[in-house]
Each structure stands twice: as C-alpha cells, then as structure tokens.
Structure 1
C-alpha cells in the first residue's frame, strides 16, 4: 500500500511539473493594452492614455521618451516606425520593471514573450526562430 501511495504522489508531482506552462503577460505583445494605449497616445499627440500604465515616479522618463518619439515621427514613415518602436519598448520596459519582472523583448500579437524579438533588427539572415 505504501508503494502505491508513493507512486501516486510521484506521478502527480511529475505530471504537475511537466504540464506547467510559463505565465505570459499580455502586456508584452503588440496587441496588449499597454502598446494599444501607446498607439493612441502617439496618434493623438497626448500622453495621458499611457500614464495609467506607469507609476508617478516613472512619468518623467515616459514623458521624455514620448517627446522624443513625437519629434522623430515627423521625419518620414521609416522614422515614424522607429520612433513608435522606441516608445513602445520603453513603455513596456518601465511597466514591467515596476512589476519586478524581467523585460523580455516586445512581441507581436499573440506571440509569447519568451520568443525572440520580432522587431526589425540588424541580424544575419541565418535561420532564427523569428524567421521560421
């Protein structure tokens, strides 16, 4: 009987460990609420929608990033995409830091935050998980 109980406990523990999945924060995706608020803020030129996602102590850093992003957005479509990415990544980084979580690369809609960054970077064209 003791062997049966031990076997059951070991099986239950192993099952729980193997079935466990990492918890993914919805804020880390491009369709998450933090980035959605940032898109609205950049389009309207009003930072108010994003301030609810950061603590008052971080507002000055977010305001500085927002001001820089707005200035760079005026320089054309490529600059606008780069400025938007800059602002999104800074906002998500600060938001995550306030929750004492490591900051993974921002991810596109539906992609887990543990995957490599989908944002355009200067990488080799070798096969990577983002090119699969």
Structure 2
C-alpha cells in the first residue's frame, strides 16, 4: 500500500485474521511458522478486554454473549509494519506468508481422515 506525501500514517498495525477453516492452521501455528522464518508478529487485541483481569469482573456471560469477540481475538495476527520498512521486506513477508499457507493446504489436501494418501509409484 502506497501513501501520498500529503497522507498521514501511524504505521501502527497491519493485522490479518487467521481463520483455521480457511487457512488450515490457527493464528498461533502461523505465528510460529513466521517466527521460524525470522518474521516477528504480534497478537494484538488478545485477550479481548472482557477477559483481561482489570475488566473481567464487569463481564456477565449470562447477559452478554461475546463469543464473536473471542473468535475474532483468537485469530488476529499483526504483521511487521513501520515507516522505514523496505518494499523488499514487505514482499518477502507476503511471499513467506503465501508459501506457508500454500504448504499447509497441500499437507491437508494430501491427507484423508488423518491418513496420508497413497500415491502410485512413478507419479
């Protein structure tokens, strides 16, 4: 994403939501895989406010269903972003993320009910 000279940008967060049913992995698994590639990520907005010690006493689960808040908070992962982040690094992060997700999807596709698919010799 490019910004114009007249724009103001805080470069605070660039977050994605990791949906296990779509990506085939949880936010924490993806964060660990990126860490293994020397890409630091952060779990922002986690835990949600109603689960933090300061605020948890105000939350009454019987009156307020915050399951969607929890679902969102469990999946948010913030990727590296700052003003002097070179375009090459942005591209490397995106390519690494894509490679990890693609690899995970291939692993899932080659497995049927927990058993590896048998591939005929020569294929």
Structure with greater contact order relative to length (CA < 8 Å, sep ≥ 6): 2
Q: TM-score range by the shorter chain?
A: 0.3 to 0.5
Larger radius of gyration: 1
TM-score normalised per structure 2: 0.35
TM-score normalised per structure 1: 0.33
Q: Which has the higher strand share?
A: 2
Q: Which has the higher helix share?
A: 1
